[in-house]
Amino acid sequence: MKYVFLSILIAGAISIVSSCARPYAKTNKAYKKQVKNYARMLREYPVKDSAGLNYASSWVGTTNFTMRRPNIVVIHHTAQNSCEQTLKTFTLTRTQVSSHYVICKDGTVHHMLNDLLRGHHAGVSKWGNATDLNSCSIGIEIDNNGFEAFTDEQIGSLVILLGRLKNAYNIPVANFVGHADIAPGRKVDPNKYFPWQKLAENGFGYWYDTTAVTVPEGFNEIQALRIIGYDIKKPESAIQSFKLHFTPSDSTKTINDSDKKILIDLIKKYQ
């Protein structure tokens, strides 16, 4: 009896150690199950539905196809207090939010979702003519509460990651954006401390040089924002997001002459 009791204690201890060592074993299993379900759905073609179409009696499947590929990268701050808190948020079904990558303050990168799968990070969004950004983008969350600077380790890991994504999916320079850029008035991340100029210097997004720029008469700054990619349905919100990205020290919602010069220079790059 003593040995049985001892065995139970040992088994319980092993179980506790195992759960501590692999705290996300259960959600990892759920991830794999969901991926298998999607794979099963892909194998169900041809689909027989009730659309009333005159389907051919025999199915002919094309041999020429590939997986859909992302074309935009959206950068966020987590607005939470730790990487662990964010990982937990993204593994709770009830939250219905996720991102492909999470970068912790020490530079550690969590690849939480296959790049070719649709994450839930962008919400209602628009960039240029693209809507439903979740369906065409990769989401990167950086551990940051929204009111602090990003660590050198985080930015170092981010630059390496963006380089891999750019090369893997041939993502255009203009399509490295922030959550605030694609959701003006609704989102403000990544915050004003994010080093957009440094990213642009590495080929991820554009920056400006207004040295020899002059403002022509009748220049339409709102249309300029649209050309760059911003949704201008609410002009003040578009201006706010533009300034957060390119002139973060200016929190006003009006375009001044300096801003116009920035827009003129950027238009040449974004067109």
Query: Could you tell me how many residues make up the chain?
Result: 271
In the sheet where 72-77 sits, what is the strand order? Answer: 109-111, 101-103, 137-142, 72-77, 176-178
For residue 200, give the H/E element and its range.
helix 196-201
C-alpha 202, offset from chain centre: 18
Buried residues in 183-198 as b, exposed as e (16+ CB within 10 A): bbeebbbbbbebbbee
Q: What is the DSSP letter of 98?
A: -
| 3-state DSSP assignment of residue 86 | helix
Is 84 designated active site?
no
The one catalytic residue in 44, 84, 141, 217 is 141
Active site residues: 141
